Amino acid sequence: MPDESYGDRPRPPRNPRDLRRSNSDDRTRSPEIDEDVTGKELDRAALLQLRTLDDVNRPWVAKHLVMAGRLVDVAPEVAFQHALAASRRGGRLGIVREAVGLTAYAAGDFAEALRELRTYRRISGDQTHLPVLADCERGLDRPEKAIELSQSEEVAGLTGPVRAEMAMVVSGAYTDLGDHASAVTALEVPELDINRAFSFSPRLFTAYAAALETVGRDDEAQRWREQAFAAERALGTGAFEDPEILDFDDEPADLPKVKDVLGRSKGGDRGREQGRDQDRRRGGRA
């Protein structure tokens, strides 16, 4: 496959101040695109952003973004290369910087993920990925930075799945530092409700159980482990293919109902599931 980033045109001069991986001297050729991908698979909001690109660049960016989303859970490094290919043509767009950041995170390139997601946050004003930014600091062996980020004004305004994700990351950061009491406290957010089950609940309950065990509160830990199992059964996750409980009454309006979670497409739950490796980092490393 030819390098569709340039075709017959000469490669533009490299700007050394552009630190994006897609601008590096040793960048690889763009990865192959599956024959069934048209680019129209993107949602409407994404397609609207791409309308600012010209007719030559738009289809390539769209197709690489589709491939990045298709592969991020199964081949994160290849997904990252697709996102970088999209960045070579559409790097000024927020959706592209977001894709590069999230695929870099999934591939374990935490420095690149930090750079790209900070840029995305600046472009869009979206705070959704603050837990990912904090977890990248952990991945770079800077747990203090993760805790510092968690104390920012922006984090104070988080609710629901994003707050739960941040709690797990921060608890893990305290665990990295050997502060096990603070690791327990960090998880005691409103989303830690033993009578409610959301997409993040099994991991949140399990993380809390592990933190409790670390401080010797074994009886409480066992109760939360049992509840994590019950939450998986309610959500139809883990060993359970079909949900036994579809809804709970009187849930806060800012949290998703179980029926809403189950109705989402894979990859649409931006609590967000980043894969098994990232789940192991959140709530404490082995």
Return the pLDDT at 265.
32
Per-residue pLDDT of 8-65, as tens digits, reads 444 555 555 555 555 455 456 789 999 999 999 999 999 999 999 999 999 999 999 9
What is the predicted pLDDT for the residue at 236?
87
Query: Beta strands of 34-128 (E only): which ranges?
Result: none
Indicate the pLDDT class of residue 238, thresholds 50, 70 and 90.
confident
Its pTM stands at: 0.75
Which among 38, 83, 84, 48 is positioned nearest to 65, based on CA atoms? 83
**Most trustworthy range by pLDDT among 178-182, 193-197, 281-285:** 178-182
Whether residue 197 is predicted with pLDDT greater than 60 in this model: the reply is: yes
**How confident is the prediction for the chain on average, in pLDDT?**
82
Range(s) within the chain of domains with CATH label 1.25.40.10: 127-286
Q: Would you give the distance in Å from CA 236 to the centre of its chain?
A: 21
Residue 249, pLDDT above cutoff 70: no
What does the CA dihedral 77, 79, 84, 86 come to, rounded to 10 degrees? Answer: 170
| 259-276 pLDDT per residue, tens | 333 333 333 333 333 333
| HEC secondary structure over 179-236 | CHHHHHHHCCCCCCCCCCCCCCHHHHHHHHHHHHHHCCCHHHHHHHHHHHHHHHHHHC
pLDDT computed for residue 16 by the predictor? 54
* Percent with pLDDT over 70 in the chain: 73
Report the C-alpha gap between 144 and 261 in whole angstroms: 33
The single-letter DSSP state of residue 93 is S
Report the top-level CATH class of 127-286.
mainly alpha
pLDDT of residue 237: 82
**197 is written with which tokens?**
């089950």
Report the candidate in 123, 135, 95, 131 with the shortest Cα–Cα distance to residue 272.
131
Average pLDDT score over residue span 88-117: 96
The pLDDT of residue 240 is: 67
